[in-house]
Amino acid sequence: MRFLRRTTLLVLAAALAVVVPLSLASPASASDHGPPATPTHRVDGMTGGELQGQFWAYVYSTASPSTTCFHLGQTGQVYFLPYEPPTCDITEGTPIFVLGWSTTCSDVEPPPYFAVGEAAQQACARTAIDLDMVQAITVKVDDGPIVDIHADRFGEYAPQQDVLLPPDNFLGLPPGTHATLSAYGWVALVGHLHPGHHTIHTEVVFPTDANVRTIVVNVVPVPSS
Domain boundaries, the chain: 8-17+28-220
Q: What angle do CA 68, 73, 77 make, to 5 degrees?
A: 65
pLDDT of residue 48: 94
* Average pLDDT value for residue range 81-108: 83
* Average pLDDT value for residue range 39-53: 93
**What would the pLDDT profile of 107-164 be if each residue is shown by its tens digit?**
999 999 999 999 999 999 999 999 999 999 999 999 999 999 999 999 999 999 999 9
Provide the pLDDT confidence category of residue 5 given band limits of 50, 70 and 90: very low
pLDDT of residue 18: 28
Percent of the chain, pLDDT > 90?
56
Over 60: is that where the pLDDT of 209 sits? yes
For the chain, what is the mean pLDDT? 82
pLDDT of residue 63: 81
